[in-house]
Amino acid sequence: MQGGDGAAVPTACFDDAALRVLANVLPLPESADPLHESIGRQMVTSQPILSATGLTMEFRGFVAVNDVTLSVNEGTIHALIGPNGAGKTTVFNLLTKFLTPTRGQIVFRGEDITRLKPAEVARHGLVRSFQISAVFPHLTVLDNVRVALQRPAGLATQFWRSAGVLSSLDGRAMELIDAVNLTPYADLTATELSYGRKRALEIATTLALDPAMLLLDEPMAGMGHEDIGRISDLIRRIARDRTVLMVEHNLNVVADLCDRVTVLARGEILADGSYDAVSADPRVREAYMGTEHE
């Protein structure tokens, strides 16, 4: 838990660091990383929990996402990567219905969710985070988590009862806060937290809904390496009994954490497969290097 506050140096971006990673670290020897052993463990057996077919999003003639077909297997950590402007966040917005696709279909756990509203998608168990840290800034850490617990507990619409009844949720909220190591900060308002702890709080709040699948939009953006380690551990723990789809720029993290990688460039899918397979793909290398020479 120490040292998080001072270490919030922005490291994750695609420009220099990531390119260096691609050039040098990509052919990562499997034995060098014990976590690599876990890669592929579920890939063979599990079923797709979320599949999108032919997703297209046009903004007044500009095609941001073109014919994206994506399938995320249950119980895996799946990464969505790609250069800046590739349409990763747009895909997230489409999957969680914050945007409605121009064309295409989204099926989650066997149910067509293409026409649902975003709040309904969350109720189905597909819960997202945002690129810009999504907390309730002037509520305390405890209250942030409790807000998420209120709806499942049926304590959200009573306007005639005292807010004191919400203390019945404190126990569960503190468990979740403890799971992300924020117990000492439970009474601080969210604005008072360091960047990394805000992201941890966000994950605790998301977990409060007990979702079957989490969509994390750049969970480590702007973090120092200590925070990155902490959040990586957290995501690994979460993924034991859930599915995670994450947009991530830090390719070390992707290599470390993710079972499967989908590469997006200019709104289209470029490659899809294990990290090693994808990183060996010449088109992927070209997409990244291409941006360098522009």
Partner 1 sequence: MAVDTQYYAAQPRFRTSAVVFGVIAIAALLAAPFFFYPVLLMSMLCFALFACAFNLLIGYVGLLSFGHAAFFGGAAYFAAHAAKVWGWDPLGAVLLGAAGAAGMGLAIGFLAIRRQGIYFAMITLALSQMFAFICLQVPFTHGEDGIQGVPRGELLGLVDLNEPLAMYYFTLAIFLFGFFAIWRIVHSPFGNILKAIRENERRAISLGYRVDRYKLGAFVMSAALAGLAGGTKAIVFQFATLTDVQWQMSGEVILMTLLGGIGTMVGPAVGAALVVALQNYLAASNFPVTVLIGIIFVVCVLVFRRGIVGEILELARRRSKDAK
Binding mask 167-186 toward partner 1 (x if CB under 8 A, else -) reads --------------------
Binding mask 128-147 toward partner 1 (x if CB under 8 A, else -) reads xxx---xxxxxxx--x--xx
Q: Is the CB of 2 or the CB of 157 nearer to partner 1?
A: 157
Bridge-based pairing state of the strands 77-81 and 260-265: parallel
Burial of 180 (0-12, 13-18, 19+ CB in 10 A): buried
Among 24, 160, 171, 294, binds partner 1 (CB under 8 A): 160
Which residue reads 């793909």 in tokens?
281
Structural tokens at position 95: 């999957």
Q: Is 119 in the site for partner 1 (CB under 8 A)?
A: yes
Sorted by sequence, the CB contacts under 8 Å of residue 17 that are 6+ apart come out as 11, 250
Among 1, 35, 156, 277, binds partner 1 (CB under 8 A): 156
Q: Is the CB of 117 or the CB of 237 nearer to partner 1?
A: 117
* Secondary element (H or E) of residue 117: none
Residues of span 98-117 touching partner 1 by CB under 8 A: 98, 117
Among 96, 232, 252, 279, binds partner 1 (CB under 8 A): 96
Instruction: Report the C-alpha gap between 82 and 216 in whole angstroms.
Output: 15
Of 11, 90, 29, nearest in space to 279 by CA: 29
Amino acid at position 148, single letter: A
Shortest spacing between CB 104 and partner 1, in angstroms:
21
Bridge-based pairing state of the strands 213-217 and 243-247: parallel
Stretch that binds partner 1, among 13-21, 73-81, 120-128, 247-255 (CB under 8 A): 120-128
- β-bridge partners, 48: 73
Shortest spacing between CB 32 and partner 1, in angstroms:
37
Query: Which residues contribute to the site for partner 1 (CB under 8 A)?
Result: 96, 98, 117-120, 122-123, 127-130, 134-140, 143, 146-148, 150-151, 155-163, 165-166, 187, 189, 205, 209
